[in-house]
Amino acid sequence: MLELKNIEVVYNEVVLVIKGLSLKVKKGEIVSLLGANGAGKSTTLKAISGLLKNEDGEVTKGNIFFLDKEITDSNPSDIVKNGLFQVMEGRRCIADMTVEENLRLGAHTRVDRRNISKDIEKVLSYFPRLKERKGLSGYLSGGEQQMLAIGRALMAKPNIILMDEPSMGLSPLLVKEVFNIIKKLNQDLGITILLVEQNARLALNISSRAYIMENGKIVLEGGSKELSKNEDVKEFYLGGGKGDRKSFKNLKSYKRRKRWL
């Protein structure tokens, strides 16, 4: 459904951030994209959704295909129209609008304007607590804002949602709730999801496949189950790893990391 072929992203015409990245998301999957800070995960998402131009970024090489059409360098609004929606990092709700206005805004690209009120009801039934919030969305809690951001994405009736760190700044319980919602959306509505996360354990739990990025490249890919058993992944992302880490392991893990780069 979504395919990135060997893309390269350059910021400000000099800073090379993504160095030949390829990945593939099939219909109906949840795929997670993991990696340390600054690995280029968010940049990858922005390259897909066309939001790079705002930040002086540019896809200089490679192609991005969505539903068998090339979307490299398309306008963000056309990409949304085609059914690819990004929920940006930090939620980005329009703070001086109410919940309902935010949801209606999510349906901006929809052609069937008449069904919108019905869909707002539907989305609110997924997030019952948003129903009680009548004020401006800027005053919602972080978790509620995340729900609103996801709900807003649903209003556009996308085929695929790119989620950038939905767990950011949320309490552990809320993180769980948000992840359950993501899983539900995938199962009930059949929405494909590409998930960028810091919380590797939870992300690997709900996704079927995962990619691990480092320094603008994919260094490891595979089924989520296998990856969560992989020693390197365990050590770098899940914590724990082997018990006797404290002795000579530091040296070894450095070498192992070297092999990835």
Partner 1 sequence: MELDFLIQLLVNGFIIGLLYGVVAMAFVLIYKSSLVVNFAQGEFLLVGAWACWWLLAKFSLPFYLAFLFTLVFMTIFGILIQVIILRPLIGEPIISIIMVTIGLSIFFQAMMNWMFGVFVEPFPRIFNNESVNLLGLQVQTVYIMSGLISLFIMISFAIFFKKSRLGLAMRATAFDQQAAQSLGVSVKQVFSAAWGISAVVSAVAGIVFGIVNGISSGIAFMGIKVFPAVILGGLDSVLGAILGGLVIGLLEHLAHYLDVQYLNIGNMMRIAPFYALLIILMIKPYGFFGTKDIERV
Residues making contact with partner 1 (CB under 8 A): 49-51, 54-55, 75-77, 79-81, 85-88, 92, 94-97, 101, 104-106, 108-109, 113, 136, 138-139, 141, 152, 156
In the bound state with partner 1, the residue whose beta carbon lies nearer, of 40 and 106, is 106
Give me the least distance between CB of 162 and partner 1, in Å please.
Answer: 9
Helix axes 116-126, 172-189, angle to 10 degrees: 130
Give me the least distance between CB of 163 and partner 1, in Å please.
Answer: 12
Which of 32, 74, 73, 39 has the alpha carbon at shortest distance from 162? 32
In the bound state with partner 1, the residue whose beta carbon lies nearer, of 82 and 230, is 82
| Chain centroid, CA 220 distance in Å | 18
Q: Where are the alpha helices (DSSP H) in 18-115?
A: 41-49, 76-81, 99-106
Which of 107, 101, 109 has the alpha carbon at shortest distance from 137? 101
| Chain centroid, CA 156 distance in Å | 16
Q: State the CB neighbour count (10 A cutoff) for residue 59.
A: 21
Given a contact cutoff of 8 angstroms between Cβ atoms, the answer to whether 232 and 200 are in contact is no
Give me the least distance between CB of 46 and partner 1, in Å please.
Answer: 9
In the bound state with partner 1, the residue whose beta carbon lies nearer, of 95 and 252, is 95
142 by Cβ neighbours in 10 Å (0-12 / 13-18 / 19+) ranks as middle
In the bound state with partner 1, the residue whose beta carbon lies nearer, of 194 and 202, is 194
In the bound state with partner 1, the residue whose beta carbon lies nearer, of 71 and 87, is 87
Give me the least distance between CB of 141 and partner 1, in Å please.
Answer: 7
CA distance 161 to 153: 7
Give me the least distance between CB of 93 and partner 1, in Å please.
Answer: 8
Q: For residue 145, what are the contacts with CB-CB under 8 A and spacing of at least 6?
A: 91, 93, 137
In the bound state with partner 1, the residue whose beta carbon lies nearer, of 193 and 218, is 193
Give me the least distance between CB of 143 and partner 1, in Å please.
Answer: 12
Looking at the DSSP bridge assignments, the partners of residue 204 are none
In the bound state with partner 1, the residue whose beta carbon lies nearer, of 192 and 224, is 192
Give me the least distance between CB of 138 and partner 1, in Å please.
Answer: 3
Given a contact cutoff of 8 angstroms between Cβ atoms, the answer to whether 166 and 197 are in contact is yes
